[in-house]
Structure 1
Amino acid sequence: MSGFEAKLAELGVSLPDAPAPAANYVPYVQSGDLVFVSGQISAGPDGFITGKLGDNMSVEDGADAAKTCAIALLAQVKAACDGDLDRLVRVVKLTGFVNSTGDFTDQPKVINGASDFLVAALGEAGKHSRAAVSAAALPLGVAVEIEGIFEVK
């Protein structure tokens, strides 16, 4: 088990198989030392995590949904690295989209669910730049979608 995966195991997380794309795109593209991972939507063992922040979902539930996106992002990075997550150098940037009402303003607190998890799992390598934006709707009614840029060796 790799160093990063050992830390994930300590946190009670095992990476799933990388989710397959749902439309006409690829799950990731590597250009040089960067891997650009397509948006990963909030999903858990029971299916998609749906809801609208500011309406029928709490910030805490949204942050939990964002964490599932971060786990899926790492699964895609592992796939891009031929199964060796230790090739990950750092998380460079996340862009988080939050399905929220027009008056909801806590998008950063929601995306913290992903950011906090990545720092806990990866340490310094998990620190990243970020954007957290509102969306009137997301695919399949999910609560959160996050895309990421990662540096690998």
Structure 2
Amino acid sequence: MALTSFRDRFEQTGLTWPDIAPANFPFAPAVRIGNIVYISGQIPEAGDDIAYAGKVGETISLDEAKQAAAICAANILFWLSRELDGDLSRVVQVAKITVYVNAVAGFSDYSTVGNGASELLLEILGDKGRHARAAVGMAGLPLNVPVEVDAIIHVR
């Protein structure tokens, strides 16, 4: 699958390509070491807004949590694109993502929430988006978001 039209594929998902300003944090949104890019945990941030806030199973439905995870994955692609000077054809493979889910006690559908991020990466990057994954429950996340996703990506 040619990656020259990744922005076209992205727009077809119904999401808007992220435009995120780097925050003044004591860490970077992306760090490249050799042929590996590490993407810091991304939250469902859309422009200047947080698209979803709350706990899954309380104020956030399973479908909303999947959508929040997809937005997190979109933000991963945004920072990856910036790290690669806009050229996602340099992606060799998404190696691993971790999906953190802020959920109520007793919630167990973490994998379904994680599918929101996984499916978006596959849709945009094709087989290069296939990855190992962990999806885990958390008692809370920054800004009370329902989902946070980080990634390790091999590039050339």
TM-score of the alignment, normalized to the shorter chain, above 0.5: yes
Residues in 1 aligned to 2:140 and 2:149: alpha-carbon distance in whole angstroms: 14
2:118 counterpart residue number: 115
Structure 1 residue aligned with 2:43? 41
* Partners of 2:138 and 2:23 in 1: CA distance: 20
Match for residue 97 of structure 1 among 97, 100, 106: 100
Long gaps (5+) in structure 2: none
Percent identical among aligned pairs is 38
Find the aligned partners of 2:148 and 2:113 in 1 and give their Cα distance. 11
* Structure 2 contact 37–152 (Cα < 8 Å) conserved: yes
Q: Counterparts in 2 of 1:1-153, with a 5 A limit? A: 2-21=4-23, 23-44=25-46, 47-48=49-50, 49-153=52-156
Deviations 1:57-81 (A, max 9, x none): 1111100000000000000000110
Q: Is the 8 A contact 2:54 2:146 kept in 1?
A: yes
Matching residue's letter, 2:41 = G
Q: Is the 8 A contact 1:93 1:129 kept in 2?
A: yes
Q: Tell me, yes or no, if the aligned pair for 1:3 and 1:86 is still in contact at 8 Å.
A: no
Alignment RMSD (CA, Å):
1.8
Q: Quick check: 2:18–2:47 contact (8 Å CA) kept in 1?
A: no
Tell me if the contact between 1:54 and 1:103 (Cα under 8 Å) persists in the aligned partners.
Answer: no
Question: Which amino acid is 1:23 matched to?
Answer: F
Gaps of 5+ in 1: none
The CA deviation at 1:18 is 4.3
CA distance change for structure 1 residues 104 and 141 in 2, over 3 Å: closer, same or farther?
Answer: same
Q: TM-score, normalised by structure 2?
A: 0.90
Q: Extract structure 1 runs of 4+ deviating beyond 6 A.
A: none
Q: Is the 8 A contact 1:36 1:150 kept in 2?
A: yes
SS at match of 2:96: strand
Cα gap change, 1:22/1:42 in structure 2, threshold over 3 Å: closer, same or farther? farther
Q: How many residues align?
A: 153
Give the 3 Å change call, closer, same or farther, for CA 103–128 of structure 1 in structure 2.
same
TM-score normalised by L of structure 1? 0.91
Match of 2:32, SS? strand
Structure 1 residues 46 and 82: CA distance shift in structure 2, 3 A: closer
